[in-house]
Amino acid sequence: MFFKNFKIKKTILFLLLLLIMPITVHAYSDYIIPGGENIGIELEASGVMVVGTYEVGSQNPASEAGLKVGDKITAVNETAVTTINEMVQAIDQNKSKGEVEITFVRGKDTKKTTLKLYQDKDQVYKTGLYVKDRITGIGTLSFIDPNTKLFGALGHEIIEKSTGQMLEIKDGKIFESTVTDIVPSENGTPGEKNAKYNYNQVYGSVSENTEKGIFGTYSSSLPDKKQYKVAVPSSIKLGKATIRTVISGNTAEEFEINILKVNENDKTKNILFEITDDRLLQATGGIVAGMSGSPILQGDNMIGCITHVVIDDPKRGYGIFITNMLEEAEN
């Protein structure tokens, strides 16, 4: 009888251990909708970014206050601000005092300083600050998960040019954009897509800006097109593949590439490839700004998307594994 009870207890213990052991289960779908469409992107910062300073007469108020490019202003006289309009209103309410208390974030530290307000020759109060609270640009949609409606784009982070820092965002959106022309890449000089925006045709909301791309929820109707199997890195083969991107108007097209190397030890530069499609090379000279996020397909599999160009040889570039992006989208 003791032996039977012992066996039961061992079985229960084993089952309990199984239940408490961590099990990694991915929520993303086995098949996803590849993008390739050109998109407009607008991101709202989580605070007001200092992107420059200027002198008012012979004074430089921002420098006197110790404010620097890259600082993020979060409050004026203890009133929280997340937009330029909120900041201006808070300053206007206190301008008669000739100064305001500024709360700002620098790196991981929150600090406070006193910002003096100076009047110019027209008796207008000036802060000496150039600030920004949002970024607008273009990129390429990478994928939509048909089950969760999560989307990913770009394959890399969005950086504010003036500060060189990754933008911490409050929210954002993606919307329709149309490629109007392309400035081709040359050795040492990456080109770019030029596009016009249609802010009224919103595709989705952005919730994350990370080193592996921007991610959010797709709110428009799902595109009616073929779904591709999510490729695990070990299944990717050297040799022929295609990328999907827009070079004119709104239509995404496929172009041939050659995969040269696969690297599973990097976070974003996982796939080294070269463009072999003559029509794409004639149109773009290689990879151009705005192609970031363009899906990389191999057979019926989606294996990744474009992230970087090799500056000295723009026919070559890097892509991130699609699994890396999908895992990031889940977080």
- Asked about 277 being catalytic, the answer comes back as yes
Which residue, chain included where needed, has tokens 């998109």?
A: 39
CA angle 251, 254, 260 (to 5 degrees): 145
Tabulate helix, strand, coil % of the chain (nearest 5). Answer: 15, 50, 35
d(CA 308, CA 293): 10
What distances in angstroms separate CA 202 from CA 126, 198, 216, 280, one per listed residue?
36, 8, 13, 28
d(CA 253, CA 242): 10
d(CA 243, CA 260): 14
The residue annotated as part of the active site, out of 29, 156, 177, 185, is: 156
Comparing CA positions, the residue from 134, 52, 53, 118 lying closest to residue 86 is 134
Residues 6 or more apart from 125 whose CB is under 8 A from it?
91, 95, 117, 118, 119
Instruction: Write the DSSP symbol of residue 321.
Output: E
Comparing CA positions, the residue from 34, 44, 38, 33 lying closest to residue 292 is 38
Structure tokens at 27: 């929520």
The residue annotated as part of the active site, out of 71, 292, 294, 308, is: 292
- Asked about 292 being catalytic, the answer comes back as yes
Query: Catalytic site residues?
Result: 156, 277, 292
